[in-house]
Structure 1
Amino acid sequence: MNNPEIFEKTYTQYWKKLTAFSYTMTQDNDLAQNIVQDVFVDLWERKSDVEINAIEPYLFRAVKNQVFKHYQNNRFDKTILEDKFEDYVIDHFSTIDPEVMDLLYSLLDKLPEKRKEVLLMYKMQDMTIDQIADELGISKQTVKNQISSGLKQLREGLKDLAWLAPYIILHQNF
């Protein structure tokens, strides 16, 4: 990274992707841009000290760490960010890359059959709670409980997939 041309090329190549990634965690465009800028400034300042084998994972990890550091310094709980990531995956799993979908479907397959059915109707078919209750002949409260329990189980499973965050973000159409 000692070469200014390589640094500039890296900056140009990753700025937009890293900002989009940062934004998904912060929901604040200015903060997201500042965090990415801080990562690149830090990288340039430490260019002679840092040895990077793979630049993309390094940059995404650095952005994630900067976001966590920002929230930690501002007394926020990083679980909020983890939840945002998990919510993003759950809310967008119908548009995620097929390889990631396979992993998500394996999580879905671990759900009890009725819970899985309700969750797929809710998330994939965009059915309302009322529609699901009518379709399956169950109460609205049962539908709500199944959705809540299903999402909770998926979130738990997604904690193991946190390493996919950069991969998922990179394959979205921003």
Structure 2
Amino acid sequence: MDFVLAKSFNEIYTAFYRKSYLYVKSYVQEEMVAEDIVSDSLIKLWEQLKQKPIDPVAPYLFSMLKNRALDHLKHQTIKHDVHGLMTEGLERELQIRISSLESSDPKEVFSNEIQQIVEKTLNSLPERTREIFILSRFGNKSHKEIAERYNISVKGVEYHIGQSVSVLRVALKDYLPLVGILSFLKL
């Protein structure tokens, strides 16, 4: 069929959707994202075909798909980089708070209650996330050592630690400001 003169979106969709979807998904690895990229690209192609003939259509479409997938992957890279920086900051903040808790007098500031909350919160985490956090924070293992142990990437280790930090932060939200103030007043 000559898609230069395609009369309906359905013709374009039927002819190109499946191959386009498989192509994009093989790179972005997310079904919904692939569907969005393909749908948007097919609509854009259809609108352009209504304005002027494009021949051949397939290379033009796959060029559009490639560029949209690249844009998505580049955006994901930036997002992961920013998330990594934010996670590092949260990790440092939590480490300071944990250090403050460890250095405070056990009879002060509800330490038994806080310890119970930390233990309960850590026990509520998925097993691998909990183990990675404990190895990092209490086992003094580097992210690289943990990644090798679990056969995951360093980014994967950072993800698990970030998840632990987020959950602990929520669980300890009522206690950590008090600990910070009392530690400051002791100085």
Q: In which range does the TM-score fall when normalised by the shorter chain?
A: 0.3 to 0.5
Which of the two has higher C-alpha Rg? Answer: 2
Structure richer in helix, relative to its length: 2
